């Protein structure tokens, strides 16, 4: 167990190092160009629940619950309750409108110690939209929406190890079949899978403090590319790699504190630098730096680890003479900036009340999402309600900024052990 805790400490230190600008040879972090990675169906990657949403989105290695179907299905194998269902509601862009929201229904059932199943339904409503032509004439009113259906299975390999797999179907109807510039649009349809692994040790120690250590990793949304018309280029969906660590410290029978940290990375190719990126038609046609993203799903996932273009070699911002060279060290540095960091802490008292907080960090060149989360839980017998609140810490305002969201949870069946269920 000492090795596990050393590993956890090392990972934590590495995450903090990645969040800081680096100096030395090559360019500084500020020299990197804005190069945000975008995907189709981004709603598939929105945090649906209020517990992880109150801990900076650090939910991969948290104690299992019904929302583990989204975060880490393999963790369901170690749930103490026989089953649980939950319903989450997340307002979206509430400062601008009141009819955009994400709803999430999920649950699991433990068949026995080895086999567990689960499922979820995600629905994202974009509210009412008025479509107009180029002259501003109203064409029609529509209510675009997206949904995802997931089936989950977890298999317990041993007392401390488990694997999980999800199969999912997603449907994105943003235009309602509207014809745009003579081109017929269509809905995006996705078939995808999640893979997950968990190491769970409920007899861990941190110094003299007993607790539970969890290491988990997942690959989410491994699925086909999507286009909204026959002529449009097909885009990747938000495939993600997440690595999580958590330690739940049991100070006494009444006070339990969980520390969690996640490393998250999109497994989607980084946009390359082409002859038109900086407006220089004199540059050679095609990709100058980086790699083309016109590849298949598996190739794109692998390519996402080494395809960052970095900073082009040039003088005073003039890249017209660039011959495919990047400033030394900037390609690797840009790869590091694509790693997001989420960290949170949660305190439970007597398994009836919890408060939590967390932070999320994304590099300014990759989207600049930085926010602080606060959350709380009230629990009574089989019922629990989770709340969370988000405050932006950067110039980019989050769609969830200053918004209260909640999750209702209902436990079915009895505890599968005599241990308490705090932290769920």
Distance separating alpha carbons of residues 89 and 386, to the nearest angstrom: 11
Maximum distance among all Cα pairs of the chain, rounded to whole angstroms: 72
Residue 143 banded pLDDT, cuts 50, 70, 90: confident
Residue 10 banded pLDDT, cuts 50, 70, 90: very low
Q: Is residue 424 part of a domain?
A: no
The tens digit of pLDDT for each residue in 33-80 reads 889 999 999 999 999 999 999 999 999 999 999 999 999 999 999 999
> How many domains does the chain contain in total?
1
Is pLDDT at 398 greater than 70 in this prediction?
yes
Distance separating alpha carbons of residues 262 and 398, to the nearest angstrom: 20
Q: What are phi and psi of 344, to 5 degrees?
A: -155, 165
Torsion angle of alpha carbons 49, 55, 56, 57, nearest 10°?
Answer: -40
The tens digit of pLDDT for each residue in 308-352 reads 999 888 755 566 666 678 888 899 999 999 999 999 999 999 999
Across 142-151, 161-170, 269-278, 354-363, least confident range? 269-278
Distance separating alpha carbons of residues 308 and 171, to the nearest angstrom: 30
Give the residue, 416 or 11, on which the prediction is more confident: 416
Q: Is residue 116 part of a domain?
A: yes
Is pLDDT at 375 greater than 60 in this prediction?
yes
The tens digit of pLDDT for each residue in 103-133 reads 999 999 999 999 999 999 999 998 887 777 7
Q: Is residue 304 part of a domain?
A: yes
Query: Domain of 58?
Result: 2-415
Mapping DSSP to helix (H, G, I), strand (E, B) and coil, where does residue 385 land? strand
Q: Is residue 226 part of a domain?
A: yes
Q: Are 244 and 217 in contact (CB under 8 A)?
A: yes
- Residue with structure tokens 């504190």? 257
Give, in degrees to the nearest 5, the angle at Cα 235 between 30 and 92: 75
Q: Are 4 and 213 in contact (CB under 8 A)?
A: yes
Q: Is residue 423 part of a domain?
A: no
Mean pLDDT of 374-389: 95
* CB neighbour list of residue 138: distance below 8 Å, 6 or more residues apart: 130, 131, 132
DSSP state of 5: H
Q: Is residue 422 part of a domain?
A: no
Q: Is residue 421 part of a domain?
A: no
Q: Is residue 420 part of a domain?
A: no
Distance separating alpha carbons of residues 123 and 312, to the nearest angstrom: 42
As a whole number, the mean pLDDT across the chain is: 85
- Determine the pLDDT at residue 282: 59
**Distance between first and last Cα of the chain:** 23
The tens digit of pLDDT for each residue in 206-245 reads 888 999 999 999 999 999 999 988 878 899 999 999 999 9
Residue 257, domain CATH: 2.40.160.40
């Amino acid at each position: 167990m000492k090795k596990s805790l050393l590993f956890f400490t090392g990972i934590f230190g590495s995450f903090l190092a990645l969040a800081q600008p680096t100096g030395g040879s090559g360019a500084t972090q500020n020299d990197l160009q804005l190069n945000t990675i975008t995907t189709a169906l981004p709603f598939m990657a929105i945090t649906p629940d209020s517990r992880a949403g109150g801990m900076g989105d650090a939910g991969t290695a948290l104690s299992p619950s019904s929302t583990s179907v989204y975060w880490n299905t393999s963790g369901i194998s170690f749930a103490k309750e026989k089953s649980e269902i939950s319903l989450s509601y997340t307002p979206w862009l509430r400062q601008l409108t009141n009819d955009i929201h994400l709803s999430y229904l999920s649950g699991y059932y433990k068949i026995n110690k080895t086999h567990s199943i689960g499922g979820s339904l995600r629905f994202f409503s974009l509210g009412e939209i008025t479509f107009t032509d180029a002259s501003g004439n109203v064409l029609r009113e529509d209510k675009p929406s997206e949904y995802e259906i997931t089936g989950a299975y977890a298999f317990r390999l041993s007392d401390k190890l488990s694997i999980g797999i999800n199969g999912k179907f997603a449907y994105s109807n943003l235009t309602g079949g509207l014809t745009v510039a003579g081109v017929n649009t269509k809905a995006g349809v996705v078939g995808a899978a999640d893979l997950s692994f968990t190491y769970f040790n409920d007899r861990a120690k941190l110094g003299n403090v007993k607790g539970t250590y969890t290491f988990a990793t997942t690959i989410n949304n491994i699925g086909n590319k999507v286009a909204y018309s026959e002529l449009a280029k097909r885009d990747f969906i938000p495939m993600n790699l997440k690595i999580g660590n958590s330690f739940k410290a049991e100070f006494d029978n009444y006070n339990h504190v969980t520390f969690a940290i996640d490393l998250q990375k999109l497994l989607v190719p980084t946009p390359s630098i082409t002859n038109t990126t900086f407006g220089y038609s004199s540059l050679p046609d095609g990709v100058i730096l980086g790699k083309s993203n016109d590849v298949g799903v598996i190739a794109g996932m692998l390519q996402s680890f080494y395809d960052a273009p970095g900073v082009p070699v040039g003088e005073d911002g003039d890249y017209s003479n660039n011959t495919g060279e990047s400033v030394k060290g900037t390609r690797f540095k840009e790869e590091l900036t694509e790693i997001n960091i989420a960290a949170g802490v949660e305190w439970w008292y007597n398994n009836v009340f919890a408060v939590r907080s967390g932070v999320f960090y994304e590099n300014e060149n990759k989207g600049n999402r930085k926010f602080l989360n606060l959350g709380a839980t009230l629990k009574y017998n089989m019922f629990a309600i989770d709340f969370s609140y988000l405050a932006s810490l950067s110039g980019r305002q989050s769609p969830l900024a200053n918004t209260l969201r909640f999750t209702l949870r209902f436990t079915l069946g009895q505890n599968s052990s005599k241990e308490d269920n705090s932290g769920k």
